[in-house]
Amino acid sequence: MEKRPLFGAAAVVLLVAAAYAAFFVAPRERTMGDLQRIFYFHASCAWAGLDAFGVCFIANLLYVWKRRGTYDWLGVSAAEVGLAFTTVVLISGPIWAKPAWGIYWTWDARLTSTFVLWLLYVCYLLLRTLVEESDRRALLSALFGIFAFIDVPIVFGAIRWWRTQHPAPVIMGGPGSGLDPVMRKVFFFSVLATHVFMAFLILERYALEKLRGEVEQLREEAEAA
Amino acid sequence: MKNIESVFWAYMLGWAVFFGFYLTVAKRSKDLRAEVERLKKAAREK
């Protein structure tokens, strides 16, 4: 029996359970009220997105070192999934910001670096469409992916290094930061759910890339025959 | 439940992005599987 659909179903169940916990289990935050419940989804998607780009970075490094097509497949799969998660972050953030700040967007360090990250990985995917020869495409995109990853620590550090309009970190934020114990449990459950979902999407996307490799091989064989 | 609509929309739009992404992956996989079959059939007929 195929294991991927079961894994996908488990990931969706976890996502729904995490949403239930965010709406009905987590206590109401004192200053922001119910609006703060976006945090569980927004921050856990941001975390999963950055980790997907981390997977892409490792795959890119391995491709440059070993030149195996499977690392290229993993790199592009993780980049697309990371981009999907970052898109969700860039949508859910402004939905929170409008009632909280009165504006949807401001060019502060965290928001700008996240938007630049999104653009960098859009460029990574566009670059792949511009090069036809598969080895050259894989190498160029791996090198670009290594460069693009430079922005990931900047996104992480932006709210730690600079004073920004974006709220200060509540996880790994140093002294004075932190969460109510129930909020903390709900948040880490959301992080788990989004990471399981991210892994599922990367596996699905990797299977697609494997098929693409098979098509390329069959076409080469047909041309050679 | 002030601002709960904003929370609801954040979740709904986020899930819509994931669902849309999953659909594009499923569509591309289906097309590639058909292409694999077509190429294999063409190779057998040669």
**What are the residue boundaries of the structural domains of chain A, listed by start?**
4-21+37-224
Q: Cα separation of A95 and B4, whole Å? A: 11
Is the CB of residue A190 less than 8 Å from the CB of residue A17?
no
Indicate whether B11 belongs to any domain. no
Give the pLDDT mean for A144-153: 98
- Direct distance between the N- and C-terminal alpha carbons of chain A, in angstroms, rounded to an integer: 36
How many domains does chain B fold into?
Answer: 1
CA distance readout (Å), A156 to A35, A112, A172, A222, B31: 23, 12, 10, 48, 38
Q: A203 falls in which pLDDT band (50, 70, 90)?
A: very high
Indicate whether B37 belongs to any domain. yes
Give percent of chain A with pLDDT exceeding 90: 81
- Mind telling me how many Å the CA of A146 is from chain B's nearest CA? 24
Q: Using a CB-CB distance cutoff of 8 angstroms, which residues of chain B are in contact with residue A23? A: 7
Indicate whether B41 belongs to any domain. yes
The tokens describing B19, both together, are 């669902």
pLDDT tens for A114-138 read 999 999 999 999 999 999 898 999 9
Indicate whether B7 belongs to any domain. no
* Minimum CA–CA partner of B36 in chain A: A215
Indicate whether B32 belongs to any domain. yes
Q: Cα separation of A114 and A159, whole Å? A: 11
pLDDT at residue A115, rounded to an integer: 98
- The complex's ipTM? 0.92
Q: A29 forms bridges with which residues in the sheet?
A: A33
Chain A contact for B34 (CB, 8 A cutoff): no
Q: Which of B1, B18, B29 sits opposite A208 (nearest CB)?
A: B29
Task: Provide the sign of the torsion angle of the four alpha carbons B24, B28, B33, B37, taken in this order.
Answer: positive
Chain A contact for B11 (CB, 8 A cutoff): yes
